[in-house]
Chain A
Amino acid sequence: MTGPAATAAPAGGPAAAPRAVTARPRLAAALELAAPLAAVALALLAGAVLIALAGEDPLAIYGSILHACLGTGYGFGQMLFKATPLVFTGLAVAVGFRAGLFNIGAEGQLYLGGFAAALAAVALAGAPGPVQLVGALLAAAAAGAAWATIPGVLKARFGAHEVINTIMLNFIAMQLVAFLGRYAYQPGTVRTATIPAGAVIPRLDVWFPALHGSPANLSLLLGLGLALATAWLLFGSRLGYAIRAVGLNPAAAEYGGIAIGSTHTAALALSGALAGLGGVNFVLGYKQFFEQGFSAGAGFLGIAVALIGRNQPLGVIVAALFFGGLSYGGLVINDRVPRELVEMLTALVILFAITLQQVMTRAARKLR
């Protein structure tokens, strides 16, 4: 994509001049697209310094991560498993961003989604298998959507900023689940009962023996399907148009007849539903019960995923695989370099990405 624009840029004689005029905006667009890639490269470079400081060979460490994720079927499955919730939370954050909203609450929404899925599945134990599964999925989506609707309504009705409210709701979700757990957990544990067989999401190694032993499951397919659906919703539906219009320019959108408040609320509900469904990967696809504290940052990582995926559903999938691979890779290198290296790499990617985005946008503006 960047190739033709870049090679067409050098302008020689008068004949080349018109080509150069069309090439500059394309070069500008390429610059903006390059920001996430450059951010990843710079973060890996900074990470290499940290690895060297720990007395290890950066190339060997990065090689190990790469080999762990792509070299064996089991590792590949682990990467897919780690990437799965990130597809959901990445989409959730991206939908919010498109509406000009920052949903930091994906963490709490995913957590509640997983909890609701387990409770629904257990409650539906007597129902036919498909009803158990559909019921559990719907419960996850509904719980996430309901939780995200709270900041939506507070913003629409009282103008309260969603960033603080979603952060607060993350903490409240943890306490709420701990409180409800008094009644829902198995005695003496911090987990629910095991879900009935009908609600279990099958593992991928049933069809792909190469992935044997890895917990990757069909939730991934659900995530990919939702990425397609989100792409359609954002770019092919009336609601998606409203969401993007409000995100780009609220005043103009309102002048065009779009209600800002209800669009914000709808976008957050949708975002919450996506995040809530992200909880099923672990609960229905892996452990087959809800366990306190299972979310472990998947919601926060969704922010990095959306950022690097440039809020595009396809970009989100690619970014989810990258961060999923990193988080599995951290476990593999832990005996040589502390696995927290991966956390730092993620943070550096985020910081470089937002900085470069500014730098590149600025450069692009000058080119245009």
Chain B
Amino acid sequence: MMELLLFVAAAVRISVPYTLGAVGAGFSERGGVVNIGIEGMMLNGALGYVLGAWYSGHATLGLLAAVVAGVVTAALHALVTVRFRADQITSGLGINLLAAGLTKYVLVEVFHSSSNSPRVPGLELLPGLAAVPAVGTVLGAPLVLLTALLVIGVQWLMFRSVFGLRLRSIGERPEAAATLGLSVTAYRTAGVLISGALAGLAGAWLASEQHSFTDGMTGGRGYIALAAMIVGKWSPAGAVAACLLFGASEALQITLQGVAFPNELLQMLPYLVTMLALAGWIGRSVPPRAVGVPYDPELG
């Protein structure tokens, strides 16, 4: 029983950055903007956290800086794809490359190291809840709790609020939404910025967990988040389920270490599941109709 709880706790903790990234990406895509740049926004968020925590000495200010870093990175994506209507996939890839370069550049210029930052404070566990056996590291972690609240909040925001309805309509038929007087530009920008804020939080979680920034520390988690969003069919609740599945598969890898089962095959799992979902073998996964298509009123 204890071992099972420990396994669940590990799976949940692993899935935190995936969940934040996936739920965020969903907002961007539901509005019609593909966001391959989650990885870069996470990476900049992680660096933002470390810079904020380093200069202020407070983890909470690190958290704030991470969100700002994520949002600023997302603003660049919005500028290129929404304002200038450039190709969304290429912009996302460019943002990932920019973040990879920028974070290392700053690491060298600020901390004079090409591999890692000095140790910074991490977010403390909440004293009472952290004492719970086995799952204390989950129940007592402020960012896990915040993520859980956010998921419930954004599920409501996307499917029960006026904003969500309008955002989704713009991701399906922007010209129809524009006819009703909605600003496609404003809603799409909002969707992209929300994805940046959440990706920044994901980066903060990673940096806070290891108390430092290391070169390329997101290690493809932004892409796994994207995969989870697809498997979860572009809904926050679905994304959480997919993230927990991916988290469990990773926790299993750690458990199975030393056993004669090749880890590489387990590591393929999230990617294979995503491909199967896209091919329609795990229930049809259909993207928003207008996702990836820049909205140009002149072309109608």
* Residues of A participating in the B interface, judged by any CB pair closer than 8 Å: 50, 53-54, 102, 104, 154, 157-158, 160-161, 163-165, 167-169, 171-172, 175-176, 178-179, 182, 300, 303, 307, 338, 340-344, 346-348, 350-351, 354-355, 357-359
Contacts and interface: CB of A to CB of B under 8 A. Distances in A.
B97 A340 contact: no
Nearest to B83: A355
Contact of A350 (B94, B268, B275): B94
6 shortest interchain CB distances as A-B pairs: A343-B101, A347-B98, A350-B94, A179-B264, A344-B101, A354-B86
B176 interface: no
A179 B279 contact: no
Contacts of B280: 158, 160
A346 B97 contact: yes
Q: Provide the main secondary structure of the chain B interface.
A: helix
B84 A355 contact: yes
Interface of B: 34, 36, 76, 80, 84-87, 89-91, 93-95, 97-98, 100-102, 104-105, 108-109, 114, 220, 223, 226-227, 230, 262, 264-265, 267-268, 271-272, 274-275, 278-280, 287, 294
B101 A342 contact: yes
Contact of B105 (A154, A344, A348): A344
B279 A175 contact: no
Contact of B265 (A175, A341, A358): A175
A171 B94 CA distance: 19
Contact of A168 (B86, B267, B275, B287): B275
Nearest to A54: B109
A176 B271 CA distance: 12
Contact of A358 (B36, B86, B97, B271): B86
Contacts of A160: 275, 278-280
A338 B102 CA distance: 10
B262 A182 contact: yes
Contacts of B36: 163, 167
Given A171-B223, A351-B80, A178 B98 contact: no
Contacts of A307: 90
A168 B224 CA distance: 9
Contacts of A341: 101, 105
Contacts, number: 125
Given A164-B278, A351-B76, A178 B264 contact: yes
Contacts of B230: 164
Contact of B104 (A343, A348, A357): A343
B271 A161 contact: no
A158 B279 contact: yes
B18 to A, nearest CB: 14
B268 A102 contact: no
A108 B94 CA distance: 18
A179 B91 contact: no
A344 B109 contact: no
B80 A175 contact: no
Contacts of A348: 94, 98
A341 B114 CA distance: 13
A157 B275 CA distance: 13
B227 A164 contact: yes
Q: Provide the main secondary structure of the chain A interface.
A: helix
9 contacts: A53-B109, A161-B287, A175-B268, A176-B264, A340-B102, A342-B101, A347-B94, A348-B94, A351-B76
Contacts of B267: 175
Given A54-B109, A171-B223, A176-B268, A340 B94 contact: no
A351 B94 contact: yes
A303 B93 CA distance: 9
A179 B272 CA distance: 15
A8 B265 CA distance: 64
B86 A357 contact: yes
Nearest to B272: A172
Contacts of A171: 220, 223, 268, 271
A175 B105 contact: no
Tell which of B98, B101, B220, B272 has the most Cβ of chain A within 10 Å.
B101
A1 to B, nearest CB: 25
A222 B125 CA distance: 59
Given A164-B226, A171-B223, A171-B268, 18 more contacts: A102-B89, A104-B89, A158-B279, A164-B227, A167-B36, A169-B271, A171-B220, A175-B265, A179-B264, A179-B265, A300-B93, A300-B97, A340-B105, A344-B97, A347-B94, A350-B90, A354-B94, A358-B294
Contacts of B101: 340-344, 346-347
Contact of A355 (B86, B220, B223): B86
Contacts of A342: 101
B83 to A, nearest CB: 9
A324 B35 CA distance: 28
A260 to B, nearest CB: 17
A154 B89 contact: no
A172 B86 contact: no
B223 to A, nearest CB: 6
B121 to A, nearest CB: 26
Tell which of A175, A178, A342, A348 has the most Cβ of chain B within 10 Å.
A175
A338 B223 contact: no
Contacts of B278: 154, 158, 160-161, 164-165
Contacts of B87: 354
B95 A172 contact: no
A161 B285 CA distance: 11
Given A172-B271, A351-B94, A338 B108 contact: yes
B42 to A, nearest CB: 15
A165 B223 CA distance: 11
A347 B97 contact: yes
A154 B36 CA distance: 20
Tell which of A157, A164, A171, A182 has the most Cβ of chain B within 10 Å.
A164
A240 B150 CA distance: 50
Contacts of A169: 271, 275
